[in-house]
Chain A
Amino acid sequence: EVQLVESGGGLIQPGGSLRLSCAASGFTFSSYWMHWVRQAPGKGPVWVSRINSDGSITSYADSVTGRFTISRDNAKNTLYLQMNSLRAEDTAVYYCVRFSGIITWGQGTLVTVSS
């Protein structure tokens, strides 16, 4: 069974940093582009970032460029999102998603940026 499990969310003060992880199983992780999508409370989903299969190509939404870094460890079947200089507007549930092949979402991890 294809599965994506996010972790690392929590309450963080504005200006702080957090690293999210997404553990993948049930498929050949190293063959797929992977993405992060977030959803603020009461709002629709918004794409955040993507990374290609070997980690050499990345792209970001304008709202997070320069503050967030996506990466992956194919040996550990894990996707990461390093989030720096966090702002209140980054408060959201963060989902790890595979959009190629059978679209698959994780259950999400909540990040709350508040003092």
Chain B
Amino acid sequence: EIVLTQSPGTLSLSPGERVTLSCRASQTVTGSYLAWYQQKLGQAPRLLISGASSRATGIPDRFSGSGSGTDFTLTISRLEPEDFAVYYCQQYGSSPFTFGPGTKVDI
């Protein structure tokens, strides 16, 4: 099973700041099948990035993903008030599909 580690656990930031979230895998993620999700309280996870770097439909271009192998990054170029949420990475290249523990982006 591929274990995903996200860092940091919590980030306290202000609107307008740039943020970089890290996701590290215990083994190579097959085919760079790595997704990033945003989740707010009471809502389903919202897909931001799939295939490590492809923005999902309707996702603003301030969100970008990069990385391959075992190291992946989600960057938000300029935080908007609606971006304060929990962010999860997930690998879907090898069964069982696994999720990271999440990074909370706080005000």
Contacts and interface: CB of A to CB of B under 8 A. Distances in A.
Nearest to A45: B99
Interface string B43-84: 011010010000011000000000000000000000000000
A50 interface: yes
Contacts of A108: 44
Contacts, number: 41
For chain B, the bracket of interface size reads 10 to 19
For chain A, the bracket of interface size reads 10 to 19
A28 B35 CA distance: 23
A32 interface: no
A46 interface: yes
A103 B44 contact: no
Contact of A59 (B35, B88, B96, B101): B96
A108 B88 CA distance: 17
Main secondary structure of the interface of B (DSSP, over half): loop
A44 B97 CA distance: 13
Nearest to B88: A44
Contact of A45 (B56, B57, B90, B96): B90
B44 A47 contact: no
Contacts of B90: 45
A106 B57 CA distance: 16
Interface in A46-73: 46-47, 50, 59, 61
B98 interface: yes
21 contacts: A35-B97, A44-B102, A45-B90, A47-B96, A47-B99, A50-B97, A59-B95, A61-B96, A93-B44, A95-B45, A99-B97, A102-B56, A102-B57, A103-B35, A103-B47, A103-B50, A103-B56, A103-B92, A104-B47, A105-B45, A105-B47
Interface of A: 35, 44-47, 50, 59, 61, 93, 95, 99, 102-108
